[in-house]
Amino acid sequence: MRGGLLHLLLPVFFALSLFLGPYGFINPFSHGLGAFVLELRLLRALAASLVGLALAASGSGLQALLKNPLADPYILGVSSGAALGVLAAIAAGFVWPLAVSLSALLGGLAALALVMAVSSALGLTRTSMVLAGVALSYALSSIDMIIMMDLGPAVQGSLAWMFGTVAYALWGELAYAAPLMAAGAAWIFLRAGHLESLMLGDDVAESMGVRARRLRAEVAVASALSTSAAVAVAGPVGFVGLVAPWIARLGSGGAFRRIYPLSLSLGASLTVAADLASRFVEPGGMAPLTSITALMGAPVLVYLLARWRG
Amino acid sequence: MRRKASSSVAISLIVVAVVVAISAAYIGHQLSAYSAQVSELYSAVSSLNRTVASQASAMSSIASQQQSIQSQLSSLESSMRFPASAVDATGQQIVVYSEPTRIVSLMPSDTAILFAVGAGPQVVGVDEYSSWPPCLSALEANGTVKDIGSGWYPDPEVILSARPDMVFGVSSVPSNYALKQQFAAYGIPVVLLPDNTIEDVLQSIYTAGRLTGHTGTAQLLAENVTAELSYAEDSTVGLNRTSAALIVWPSPIWVAGNGTWEDQMITAAGGSNVFSNVNGWEPVDPEALLAARPQVIIYTAGHGQLNYSEFISTLYQELGPAADSVPAIASGRVYAVTGEYNDWLTEPGPFVGDGTILLSVLLHPEAYGMNYTSIPHVVSPDTLRLPVPASVPVISTPQCASAVSSP
Amino acid sequence: MLEADSLSLAYGGRVVLEGLSFEAYPGEVLAVVGPNGAGKTTLLRALSGSLEVAGGALSCCGFSAAAGERLGAGDRISYAPAYPDVDPWISALDLVLSYRMGPRRPWARPSREDVGAALESLRRLGAAALGPRRTSEMSTGELKMVMLAAALSRRSDVLLLDEPLAYLDLRNQSIAMSALRAEARRGALVLVASHELHLLRLYADRVLVLSGGRAVAMGRVDSVLSEGLLERAYGVPLREERALVPSIHRAGGARERRSYCNYFRCGAPGRY
C-alpha cells in the first residue's frame, strides 16, 4: 500500500518541473517565448524521467542478477565506454549533439560487448562479469584521462557531460534513445520472474527452469542497452541506478517482481527532482546531476536503513 | 468805407478760409497720405509677419523633411545592412532580417568583439567571466546588462529569461552546439564564432559586425588589428627570434602550444614558442621547461590572483636549484602580465594586435630603443606604456552606452 | 515413476557417477547416502534439471533426458539445496511465495490463495513466526526450515531434498521428518540425500547407497544398512567406532556380503 503512494512522487515532481525555473511561472496558454521555455522544461522533465527509469531498471536488474547490493548500471563498464566514445568524437571534431550522443551509445555497447566476450571465455559467471567490467572500467577511464588532457579547453565542455545533465536534451535525441531505454527496461521486466527465482539460489532457480547463464547474458545486454541510451541523452548520471532499487526495497519490501516497477518510478522521480533542484542550486551554471541525486538520495537511504535496523 | 472794411474783412476771411481750407486739405491730404502710408506700413508689417511665420513653418517643414529623410536614410542603410547573412564557425549560414537589439554573449572573447565593433548598446546579457570592456561592470550594476552565468555550461532558461534575439557562443565548447540546436526551434540564432587562431579572430570580427549591422566598424577594426600585427612584425623583422614560453597556469605548468593564438602572436612578435611541439594548451613537466631553455617567460597572471613573486617561488619549487639554468630566470626576463594586458593575451578578442605589440616589446625591447632591464616584472597598463607612434591604431576602449531597447 | 538407466553424471569435467540404474515410486521416501563427494548432490541436481545427463537415460513424471540433455520436469519437481543461498533482504514469507509462484509470468502477484498456502506451509513446519523476518536475520537452521516449507508449498509430485535435517535442532528434525512422511502419504516421491544414518529408519522407506561413483546397494533401510556395507562404503572401521552409527547393530549375513562384495574386494568371510 505504501508502495502505491510512492508512485505519486513522479507526477508531482513532473508538474513542479514544468512550473518552476529561472524564467518564472509560465501560463500554459501563453504564446511566444514563454511557450518555448515551457516546451524546453517539458523536454527536460521527460528526458529526466526516462533516464531515471532506465538507470533504475538497469540497476535493479544487475543487483538481482549479480546478487550484489552495490551493483550499479555502470558496473559492467558501460559508462567508461560511453565516455570514451564521447571524448573520441569531440577529439575528432564531431561536436554536434546528435553525434556526441550516438558515440556515447556505441561506446557503451562496445564496452559491454568486450566485457561479455571476456566473461564468456571465463564461463559467464557472476564473478567473471564483475571482474571484467571493473577491469575494463579502469582501463577505459585511464584512456579517457589521457584524451581529456589532450583536449585543452574543450575539456571543460566535456566535463559538463561527465557530470550528467539533461539541460541540453533535444527531441531528436529522445526520439531514438527513448525506445532503447524502454526496450531495455521492458526486457528486464519480462525476465522479472526469472530474476526473482534467482534470489532463491542458483540451483533452485535452475531446477525451476531458469537457465542462469542465458539469463545473465540477456539481463546484461538489456541493462547495457538502457544504460547506454540513458548515458547518450544525459551523460553518466550516477547514484540513481544504485539507490532507487534500494529505496524501493526498503520502503516497500517484497521480492523482485513487486519492487521492480516501484524502483523504476522512484528512479524517474529522483532524477526529475534532481533536475528541478539543479535549476536553483546554481542558476546560470550547471550543477551536476550526479551530485544532486546523491545529495537527495543519500539521506533518504540512510533514513530508511536506520528505520529498518531499528 | 464800412463797405470797404467789411469787404476787406470778408476778403481776408475768405482768404483765411481759403488758406485754412487749402491747408486743411493739404494737411488732410498729407494725413490721408500718411495714414495710407501707415496702413501700408501696417499691412507691410503684417505681411512681413506672415512671411516670417510662413518661413518658420517652411523651416520647420524643412526640418521635419530633413528628419524623415534621415530616418529614410537610416532605414535605407539598415535595409542595406539587413537582411544580413554570414556563415559561422560550424559552417551554417545565419540570416538576420532586422537589426538584433537584444544580444547575449556566452564568452568573454565574444563580448569583447561585440563591443569593439560597436554593438555594445545591443548587448543585454554576458557570461560571468566577461570583463572587457571595463565599463561592463557598471552596466551590470545598473541592470542594463544581465549576468547569465556560465558560458561553458549555459543554462538555457536563464539565457532565455533575458529575452534575446541573438546569442553569440564559440565553436570550441560542445554545450554551445546543443544550445544552437535547441534555440533553432524557436528561431533564435546562436552564432558560434571561431576562437582558436588570429585568423579566427579576424573572421569573428567580420561575422559579428555583419550580423549586428556594424560592417563598416568591423571592417575598420579588422584592418586596425592587421595593421598592428604588421607593425609588430615590421618592428622585429630581421632580428634573431627570441625563444619564449607562455605560461597560463603555474602549478602544474600549463603552456600555450601549437595551434593557439598565443603561439601565433609570439611568432608575429618576433619570437619562437619553445613549446610549439605541444598541441593546444597542455600541462608540461618541469623538466620540459628546463630542457626548453626559453629566453623569456611570460606568465598571464589574470587580474591579480597570483602575483609575480609567488609565481617565481612556485617555479623554484618545481624546478629546484636548476631553475637558475633557465636563461629567462637567470636574466630576470620573467614577466607577469596583469590587468587589461592580461586579457589582450588570454582572450581571442579584438586586441590580439595590441597583445602582439606588447609581446614584441617584451621579446625585443631593443627594437623600440629600450633596454630589457627597464621593463618591470609586473607588466600592466599602469607599469608599462606601449611605445607606439600615434599612427598605429591601438585599440580604444569602448564607452558603454546606456541605451537599451525593451523586449 | 522415477527411473535411471545406466545413468552417468559428470561435474566440473570429472565423472562423478556412472552406470547408475534404479527406480523410485510415488508414495515412498527414498534416502540417498554415501561418503562426501560420492555424488548425492550431483544426482539430486540432475534429477532437479539443473545438470545435464552425461550418459544413459533419466526419466521422471512424464519427462525424460538422454545424454547431453537436462530433465525439464518443471513444476512437477521441487528442489531444496543443502545450503541455502538466498537474497538476504527478502522475508521468509516472500521466499516461500517466490518459490511457489516460480519464474513465469513477470506481472504475477501473489493471490490470496498463494499467501494462504505459503502461511500454511510455514505453519505446518512450525515456522509461522519466521514469516515477516528477513532471511539475513535467521539462523541457518531456521532458514532451512523455511526452504523446506517453500519446497513443500508447491505440493509437487517429486521432492528432492538435499540434507533437509542438517542444521536442525531436535524439535525441528522431528517436525521435518513428520512432514516428509506426510508428503509420502500424500502420494509424492520424496528423495532425500542425507548423512544422518541413524535417523533413516525413522522416516525413510528405502535407501540407495552410493560409493566410488556407483550404487553399491539399494533396498529397504532395515535390510540394506549393515555394518559390513557401511564399513566398506565409507571406509570406516565400525567395530572400533560403533558409537558413530548407534542404530546399526547388524553385522550382516552371508547374503548381504555376497551383494556388496560385488563392489568391494572382500577378504575371507568374517574378515572385514
B209 and B90 in a common domain: yes
Q: Which residue has the higher pLDDT, B29 or C174?
A: C174
Using a CB-CB distance cutoff of 8 angstroms, which residues of chain C are in contact with residue A69?
89
Whether pLDDT at B73 is above 80: no
Assess whether chains B and C touch, using the rule of 3 or more C-beta pairs within 8 angstroms: no
Tell me if chain A has a CB within 8 Å of the CB of C109.
Answer: yes
B375 and B302 in a common domain: yes
Question: Total structural domains in chain B?
Answer: 2
Distance (Å, rounded) from C-alpha A284 to C-alpha A241? Answer: 27
Nearest CA to CA, how far is A309 from chain B (Å)? 42
Tell me if chain C has a CB within 8 Å of the CB of A68.
Answer: no
Please tell me which of the candidates A21, A33, A154 has its beta carbon nearest to residue B174. A154
B208 and B281 in a common domain: no
Choose among A263, A208, A221: nearest CA to A114.
A221
Residues 6+ apart with CB under 8 A from C82: C41, C162, C163, C166, C193
Question: With contact defined as beta carbons under 8 Å apart, do C92 and C135 qualify?
Answer: yes
Suggest the residue from A18, A38, A95 to mutate for an interface test with chain B (most B CBs closer than 10 A). Answer: A95
Distance (Å, rounded) from C-alpha A31 to C-alpha A28? Answer: 8
Assess whether chains C and A touch, using the rule of 3 or more C-beta pairs within 8 angstroms: yes
Q: What are C82's three cell numbers?
A: 543443502
Using a CB-CB distance cutoff of 8 angstroms, which residues of chain B are in contact with residue A158?
174
Record: contact A207-C79, CB cut-off 8 A: yes
For chain A, list residues whose CB is within 8 angstroms of any CB belonging to chain B: 21-24, 33, 36-37, 39-41, 90, 95-97, 100, 149-154, 156-158, 160-161, 165, 167-168, 170, 172, 279, 282-286
Beta bridge partners of B247: B255, B299
- Which other chains touch chain C, taking contact as 3+ CB pairs less than 8 Å apart? A
B178 and B293 in a common domain: no
Choose among A12, A46, A60: nearest CA to A188.
A60
* B195-209 mean pLDDT: 94
Choose among C107, C97, C99, C132: nearest CA to A258.
C107
Residue type, B275: F
Please tell me which of the candidates A90, A160, A279 has its beta carbon nearest to residue B152. A160
Nearest CA to CA, how far is A74 from chain C (Å)? 22
Tell me if chain A has a CB within 8 Å of the CB of B173.
Answer: yes
Tell me if chain A has a CB within 8 Å of the CB of B237.
Answer: no
Phi, psi of A53 (to 5 degrees): -65, -45
- Which other chains touch chain B, taking contact as 3+ CB pairs less than 8 Å apart? A
Count Cβ atoms below 10 Å from residue B367 Cβ, excluding itself: 19
Record: contact B153-A160, CB cut-off 8 A: yes
Distance (Å, rounded) from C-alpha C221 to C-alpha C204? Answer: 7
B207 and B107 in a common domain: yes
Residue of A nearest to C151 (CA): A204
Tell me if chain C has a CB within 8 Å of the CB of A305.
Answer: no
Distance (Å, rounded) from C-alpha A233 to C-alpha A168? Answer: 9
Check residue B311 and give its pLDDT.
87
Nearest CA to CA, how far is C79 from chain A (Å)? 6
Residues 6+ apart with CB under 8 A from C182: none
Using a CB-CB distance cutoff of 8 angstroms, which residues of chain C are in contact with residue A209?
49, 72, 74, 102-103
Residue of B nearest to A90 (CA): B174
Check residue B401 and give its pLDDT.
59
Q: Which residue has the cell 545598473?
A: B142
Q: Is the ipTM of this complex over 0.85?
A: yes
- Which fold does the domain A2-309 belong to in CATH? ABC transporter involved in vitamin B12 uptake, BtuC (1.10.3470)
Tell me if chain A has a CB within 8 Å of the CB of C154.
Answer: no
Question: With contact defined as beta carbons under 8 Å apart, do B152 and A157 qualify?
Answer: yes
Using a CB-CB distance cutoff of 8 angstroms, which residues of chain A are in contact with residue B153?
160, 165, 167, 285-286
Using a CB-CB distance cutoff of 8 angstroms, which residues of chain A are in contact with residue C99?
200, 204
Record: contact B185-A149, CB cut-off 8 A: no
Residue of A nearest to C97 (CA): A255
Using a CB-CB distance cutoff of 8 angstroms, which residues of chain A are in contact with residue B129?
none
Q: What are C81's three cell numbers?
A: 539445496
**What distance lies between CA B126 and its chain's CA centroid?**
16
Nearest CA to CA, how far is A116 from chain B (Å)? 32
Tell me if chain A has a CB within 8 Å of the CB of B406.
Answer: no
Compute CA distances B174 → A95, B184, B260, whole Å.
Answer: 6, 16, 18
Distance (Å, rounded) from C-alpha C138 to C-alpha C134? Answer: 7
Nearest CA to CA, how far is B67 from chain A (Å)? 34
Residue B380, CB-side half-sphere exposure with 13 Å CA sphere = 12
Check residue C161 and give its pLDDT.
97
Q: Which residue has the higher pLDDT, A184 or B45?
A: A184
Query: Looking only at Cα atoms, what is the longest distance across chain C?
Result: 67
Nearest CA to CA, how far is A245 from chain C (Å)? 12
Cβ-Cβ pairs closer than 8 A, A with C, add up to 85
Whether pLDDT at B17 is above 90: no
Distance (Å, rounded) from C-alpha B191 to C-alpha B211? Answer: 9
Give the H/E segment covering residue A173. Answer: helix A171-190
Nearest CA to CA, how far is A85 from chain B (Å)? 14
- B335 located within any domain: yes
Record: contact A193-C106, CB cut-off 8 A: yes
Q: Which residue stretches of chain A have pLDDT < 70?
A: 1-2, 152-154, 156-157, 309-310
Q: Which residue has the higher pLDDT, B85 or A308?
A: B85
The sheet with strand B123-126 has its strands ordered as: B146-147, B123-126, B103-105, B166-170, B190-193
- B232 located within any domain: no
Whether pLDDT at B402 is above 90: no
B184 and B271 in a common domain: no
CATH number for position B346:
3.40.50.1980
Q: List, as ranges, residues 251-270 from C with C-beta within 8 Å of A.
A: none
Taking only the tens place, the pLDDT of each residue in A159-213 is: 778 888 999 999 999 999 999 999 999 999 999 999 999 999 999 999 999 999 9
- B52 located within any domain: no
Tell me if chain A has a CB within 8 Å of the CB of B277.
Answer: no
Q: Which residue stretches of chain C have pLDDT < 50?
A: 269-272
How does strand B334-337 pair with strand B123-126? unpaired
Tell me if chain A has a CB within 8 Å of the CB of C94.
Answer: yes
Record: contact B279-A150, CB cut-off 8 A: yes
Q: Which residue has the higher pLDDT, B9 or B77?
A: B9
pTM comes to 0.84
Please tell me which of the candidates C77, C80, C89 has its beta carbon nearest to residue A249. C89
- B259 located within any domain: yes
Tell me if chain A has a CB within 8 Å of the CB of C194.
Answer: no
Record: contact A37-B174, CB cut-off 8 A: no
Record: contact B157-A21, CB cut-off 8 A: yes
Q: How confident is the model at residue B241 (pLDDT cuts 50, 70, 90)?
A: very high
B347 and B277 in a common domain: yes
CA angle C139, C142, C143 (to 5 degrees): 85
Residue of A nearest to B165 (CA): A33
Per the prediction, chain B carries an average pLDDT of 87
Superfamily of domain C2-84+156-225: P-loop containing nucleotide triphosphate hydrolases (3.40.50.300)
Most confident of A68-72, B104-108, B336-340, C49-53: B104-108
Distance (Å, rounded) from C-alpha B131 to C-alpha B105? Answer: 12
Check residue C249 and give its pLDDT.
53
